[in-house]
Structure 1
Amino acid sequence: MNNGKKVVLVVEDSPLIRMGAVDLVISAGYEALEARDADEAIRILESRADIDLVFTDVQMPGTMDGIKLSHYIRERWPPVKLLVASGNAILEESSLPTGSRFFSKPYDDHAIADAMARLMA
């Protein structure tokens, strides 16, 4: 279906940052899907069984932020890996589900690509 590539769902409300993140995912060798907010992300997760990792922003419009979304994903889709980024919040990784990684923005592309590779190894 997707020629064996791992699939990463980017959840980010800023079109510019989302585009950058999608480019990053593709250049790291993964298939990229994108969502504007948590609600759209959940719809995509419900419609596809091949998503390996969700890379989400914390601050987003809609019914839940990235932290709530990551907990929701961990409960409903336990195997999905989580990468969370935020420009305003310096989060304790303890407020995130087990096995997620947190990055503050602006993040280093190499650090993100590296974390994705490690999470999906």
Structure 2
Amino acid sequence: MGSVAAARPVVLIVEDEFLLRMDAADIIQTAGFDVVEAANADEAIEILEARYDITVVFTDIQMPGSMDGLKLARAVRGRWPPIKIIATSGFRVGEADLPEGGRFLLKPYSPAQITGALRELTIGG
């Protein structure tokens, strides 16, 4: 391996349940992505304002705080249009509720579902 590693896409995971966030981080890192974590939408916005390398936001929909995942997805699309969005919930949500190009994964999701959606959005996007 050379001294200059190729930049790996960075995924921001927004999930208020610590164990689910850890699990998603493990899956996403194993799939070859770098991970940044936020416990709620407010934290996510702070991270997005501070960093310019986020490729995908992977967010839970039901979260405490000033915004749920759907509001966060719309805010991200409005302010950072190139960032891809994957939303997840134990309740089914139509893709029509997400910004254009957003993906929805029903919980419980499998590692293959997360990996597949990330690869589609980052390689095929």
Q: TM-score range by the shorter chain?
A: over 0.9
Alpha-carbon distance in structure 2 between the residues aligned to 1:33 and 1:51: 8
- Following superposition, the deviation at residue 57 of structure 1 comes to 0.2
Count of aligned positions = 120
Instruction: Normalising by structure 2, report the TM-score.
Output: 0.93
1:61 aligns to 2:53 (yes or no) = no
Q: CA RMSD in A?
A: 1.2
Identity among equivalent positions (%) equals 49
Alpha-carbon distance in structure 1 between the residues aligned to 2:73 and 2:12: 12
Matching residue of 1:110: 112
1:100 aligns to 2:109 (yes or no) = no
Runs (5+) with no aligned partner, structure 1: none
What are the Cα deviations for residues 9-34 of structure 1, in whole angstroms up to 9, with x where unaligned? 00000000000000011001010000
Alpha-carbon distance in structure 2 between the residues aligned to 1:2 and 1:120: 18
Secondary structure, in 3 states, of the residue corresponding to 2:54?
coil
Q: Which runs of 4+ in 1 moved over 3 A?
A: none
Bigger Rg, structure 1 or 2: 2
What are the Cα deviations for residues 91-118 of structure 1, in whole angstroms up to 9, with x where unaligned? 0110110000001100011011011011
Matching residue of 1:40: 43
**Which residues of 2 match residues 13-92 of structure 1 at below 5 A?**
13-87=16-90, 89-92=91-94
What are the Cα deviations for residues 38-63 of structure 1, in whole angstroms up to 9, with x where unaligned? 00000000000000000000000100
Alpha-carbon distance in structure 1 between the residues aligned to 2:105 and 2:5: 28
